[in-house]
Amino acid sequence: MATTPRSMMDPAALDAVDAGCPARRLLGRLAERWTGLVLVVLADGREKRFSEVAREIGNISPKMLSQTLRGLERDGLVERRANGGPGGRPVYRVSPLGAEMMEPLGALSGWAYANREALDRAREQYDATPRSEAPAPIA
C-alpha cells in the first residue's frame, strides 16, 4: 500500500484561495452536521418522504433536516418531487449528479474506514503526548 505519491493532488481541483473552489464548496457541504447521514439514508436510491428520512436518522430536528435537504438540493445532489408520494406528498431522492458523486465520496469514506485503525492510533498517540494541556478536540 501507500503508493508513493507523485503529484498527490490535481492542483486545478484544489487550487483554491477558497472562495470559488468547487472542491471546497463540496467538502463544506459534506461536512455539515447532517449531510452525510441524509446521503446515506438516500443512498439506496429510493424516494423517501420528509418524515421517512427523519425517522431513519432518528434524532434530527425538522429544522435541520429541512436545511440539510435544501442544501443538497441547491447543489443538485438531491431532487425533490413535489407530488411523488402517496397523498401527493413530496419525496426526495439522490439526483443522477448525486449518484455520480457517491462513487468518489464512497472511495474517500471507504479509505477512512479501511484506515480507521491507523487514524485511531494516530489520535491516541497524539493525545497521549502531553503538549501541555487539552491539545485538539474533535470527537
Partner DNA sequence: CCGTATCCAATGGGATACTG
Partner DNA sequence: CAGTATCCCATTGGATACGG
- List residues binding DNA (CB under 7 A): 32-34, 49-52, 59-64, 66-67, 70, 80, 85, 89-90, 131-132, 137-138
Instruction: Pick what 61 binds: DNA, a copy of itself, none; C-beta below 5 to 8 Å, kind-dependent.
Output: DNA
Choose between 1 and 87: whose C-beta lies nearer to a copy of itself: 1
Choose between 5 and 87: whose C-beta lies nearer to DNA: 87
Contacts of 76 (CB under 8 A, 6+ apart): 95, 97, 98
Choose between 70 and 121: whose C-beta lies nearer to DNA: 70
Query: Min. distance of Cβ 69 from a copy of itself in angstroms?
Result: 10
Q: Quick one: cell of 62?
A: 425538522
3-state secondary structure of 91: strand
> How many whole angstroms separate alpha carbon 18 and alpha carbon 60?
30
